[in-house]
Amino acid sequence: MQDSSRPVTGYPVHNVNGCGPPPPATSTTAYPYVNPSPYPYYPAPPPQNPRPTFFRRLFVSFALLLIIFGTILLIFWLVLRPHLPDFSIQSISLSNFNASNQRVNGTWNAQFQVSNPNKKLSIYYGDIVSSVFHKDDFLTETRIGPFVQGTREENSVKASYSVVDSFVEGKVVDAMNGERSRGEIKFNIKVVADVAFRYGGWRGRRRILRVWCYDVALTGSSGKMTGGSKKCSVD
């Protein structure tokens, strides 16, 4: 005979208290509850090195100052419009000239006329050196004293050259004697000067002025300059 107090197999077990069975567990691991923040989180940027920024600003400032200064100088230069002076030989003479046995003796006395065409700029002539050549062969040189030339001013500048028993190649001696025997001998006169343009208290950058007076002809007998004054090239 079966025991009536034993539950029947295959049917759910009823709790004696009248409550249903507990729900089955869905997971064996529990996670803590996290309250989501209403604002997004951004990591703080890394600290910047201030030195590159400082040097960049310094470079930009220097470049701007250089551009401004160059613009002002260019405008100032265009307004004044400096022009190179004009050179010409008014007279030149040769005395005690002798060329023989690869030796040369002689004395040249020249007078230049220098004109300043600028209306607003004066010109300062510093170190001045003048030389005498026969064609491309150097014979002698001399120095000329510095001077200041006012606006629209003309000056007469004298130069004296001397050569005593100076050695030259035989072909140079033959060329000079050949020209002299034909009644005329030609020389090239060069002037190199350190000059600067001035406007009131302002003085421009110094530059080298080069003057060439080509084929200055002298008579073979008296050594006087033939023809009138001769204009020189200036650069």
Query: What pLDDT, in 10s, does the model give residues 42-71?
Result: 666 666 666 677 778 888 888 888 898 888
- Structure tokens of 209? 């002025």
- Structure tokens of 75? 């405008």
> What is the structure's pLDDT at 50?
65
> What is the structure's pLDDT at 82?
87
Domains observed in the chain: 86-234 (2.60.40)
- In angstroms, the CA 170 to CA 214 distance is 23
* pLDDT reading at 235 higher than 80: yes
Under a CB-based contact definition with an 8 Å cutoff, are residues 199 and 164 in contact? no
Question: Nearest 5°: phi and psi at 177?
Answer: -65, -35
pLDDT tens-place string over residues 130-165: 999 999 999 999 999 999 999 999 999 999 999 999
> What is the structure's pLDDT at 200?
82
- Structure tokens of 119? 């209306």
Nearest to 181, CA basis, from 99, 122, 108, 96: 99
- In angstroms, the CA 210 to CA 191 distance is 6
Q: 197 to each of 47, 79, 83, how far by Cα in Å?
A: 55, 14, 9
Nearest to 188, CA basis, from 120, 111, 118, 89: 89
- Structure tokens of 69? 């200064």
> What is the structure's pLDDT at 60?
86
Give the rounded percent of residues in the chain with a pLDDT score beyond 70: 76
> What is the structure's pLDDT at 34?
55
- In angstroms, the CA 171 to CA 162 distance is 21
- In angstroms, the CA 223 to CA 42 distance is 98
Mean pLDDT of all residues belonging to the chain: 85
* pLDDT reading at 21 higher than 80: no
